[in-house]
Amino acid sequence: MRFFYILFLLFSLIRAESDVSLTIKKNVGSKAGIFIENISSGLMPAISQKSFILFKDDLTLSGNFEIVESKNISGSDNYLLKYDLSGANGANLNVSLFNGDGNSLLFQKNYNISSFDKYPFLIHKAVSDINKFLGYNSMEWINRLVLMSRYIGPGKSEIVLSDYTFTYKKAIIRDGLNLFPKWANKSQTSFYYTSMSSGLPTVYEYNIINGAKTYIASSEGMIVCSDVSSDGGRLLLTMSPDGQPDIYEFDKTTKKSVKLTDFSGIDVSGQYLSNGKEIVFVSNRLGYPNIFKKYIDSPTVSQMVFKGRENNSCDTKGNKVVYSSRESKNIFGSNTFNIYMISNGITFPITSSGENQFPRFSDDGSVVMYIRQSNGNSYAGFVNPRTNQNKLFEINSRVQSIDW
């Protein structure tokens, strides 16, 4: 009898010790302390304050740094970052990284961009360079351009180019109803979007370098470019030439479309999976929106998600899938939507509250962006599942669709 008590006590102690060691390991997660010093002069106070916040947010989101308030942070894993932002020749940024006591200059670089309002891109680039210089995992994703369609009135929306924090914003497609922007290539030189201006929904490709607009395809009812193959040669379109929304694959060279789904309800949001051999999509074939997948050259469709009664938006990167799921049952008013990720066969939530939709992977798949709707406004959320870092940025617009 005594043996069992001792055994129980022993296992309890082992378990308790195990938890402590895990906690210590997590806390010791070796984040470097970094003090940010703004040595800019002549900046408007609002810009000066905003530039500091951008540095702070970028460094924090990397998951590798902890912003410290004291300048005295000696130690091998601590740093001092000095920056000088000015309006010389557009926007000019000098960045210097010292060791914690400020005695040794480790990294120094100058950045310039043609117009001052684009200064957030300089800060993002400087932080990703410092991150890379110190040997941490890449965070090139903060340099990506974000495309969003935002509603500006009934029947009116415009497509806006921004940085990932939505500090820089510029409308590039105006007038009428312009929807569903989607980057056409990895280099982000052109994008597809749906224009409703002619009465017949039409997808165009817009080149942001020279402003050229090229016709791609049109369809009665609706047409959306949902995804682009990794080589840029094939598009997944949701079209309805006969009034029925289905997913088609469009070949840019031959200009021909092949119908991939054939269902009397709704099939939308096709996304390439597994190097383009399969697609993931949203369908209401079980009576409610849910996530399904199929091989491109096979008619067989399989259910991918077995949880939630309204899973109506998804994105893929490699073999990973993210989707939004409604988790409350209000017919009217606000509902809880959370974002889930499927990776290596495991499904787990990456948001825990609020109305979170439009999940989109970063180009390298390391971070997920999503849109949170709250009180008529939209916020862009970023989650890095590896580092458990997350952040929300106010967009000040009602978002129709987004890509980055």
Residues within window 255-314 making contact with another protein, judged by CB under 8 A = 265-266, 268-269, 282, 289, 310, 312-313
Q: Does 195 bind another protein (CB under 8 A)?
A: no
Q: Bridge-partner residues for 380, per DSSP? A: 371, 393
Query: Which of 23, 89, 110, 388 contacts another protein by CB under 8 A?
Result: 388
Cβ-Cβ contacts under 8 Å for 268 (sequence gap 6 or more): 224, 226, 238, 245, 247, 281, 282, 283
Q: Does 328 bind another protein (CB under 8 A)?
A: no
CA torsion, ordered 337, 338, 339, 344, to nearest 10 deg: -130
What does the alpha-carbon distance between residue 97 and residue 95 come to, in Å, rounded to a whole number? 7
Q: Does 1 bind another protein (CB under 8 A)?
A: yes
Query: Which of 357, 362, 366, 378 contacts another protein by CB under 8 A?
Result: 357
Phi, psi of 320 (to 5 degrees): -90, 145
What does the alpha-carbon distance between residue 235 and residue 216 come to, in Å, rounded to a whole number? 10
**Residue 293: CB minimum distance to another protein, A:** 16
Q: Does 372 bind another protein (CB under 8 A)?
A: yes
Region 198-237 residues binding another protein, contact defined as CB under 8 A:
199, 201, 220-222, 224, 226
Region 230-259 residues binding another protein, contact defined as CB under 8 A:
238, 240, 243-245
- The interface region with another protein, picked from 133-141, 146-154, 254-262, 294-302 by CB under 8 A, is 146-154
Q: Which tokens go with 30?
A: 């070796």
What does the alpha-carbon distance between residue 173 and residue 203 come to, in Å, rounded to a whole number? 13
Nearer to another protein, 47 or 106 (CB): 47
What does the alpha-carbon distance between residue 113 and residue 134 come to, in Å, rounded to a whole number? 24
* Amino acid, res. 9: L
Region 19-58 residues binding another protein, contact defined as CB under 8 A:
46-47, 49-50, 53, 57
* Amino acid, res. 251: D
Region 150-189 residues binding another protein, contact defined as CB under 8 A:
150-157, 165-167, 169, 171, 177, 179-180
Edge-to-edge strands of the sheet including 267-273? 267-273, 278-283, 290-295, 301-303
Q: Report residue 100 CA to chain centroid gap.
A: 33
Nearer to another protein, 98 or 323 (CB): 323
What does the alpha-carbon distance between residue 253 and residue 381 come to, in Å, rounded to a whole number? 36
What does the alpha-carbon distance between residue 84 and residue 136 come to, in Å, rounded to a whole number? 24
Nearer to another protein, 14 or 212 (CB): 14
**Residue 392: CB minimum distance to another protein, A:** 5
Query: Which of 12, 189, 197, 298 contacts another protein by CB under 8 A?
Result: 12
What does the alpha-carbon distance between residue 56 and residue 78 come to, in Å, rounded to a whole number? 15
Size, binding site for another protein by CB under 8 A: 85
- The interface region with another protein, picked from 81-89, 291-299, 300-308, 328-336 by CB under 8 A, is 328-336
**Residue 295: CB minimum distance to another protein, A:** 21
Cβ-Cβ contacts under 8 Å for 265 (sequence gap 6 or more): 283, 284, 285
**Residue 253: CB minimum distance to another protein, A:** 25
Q: Does 335 bind another protein (CB under 8 A)?
A: yes
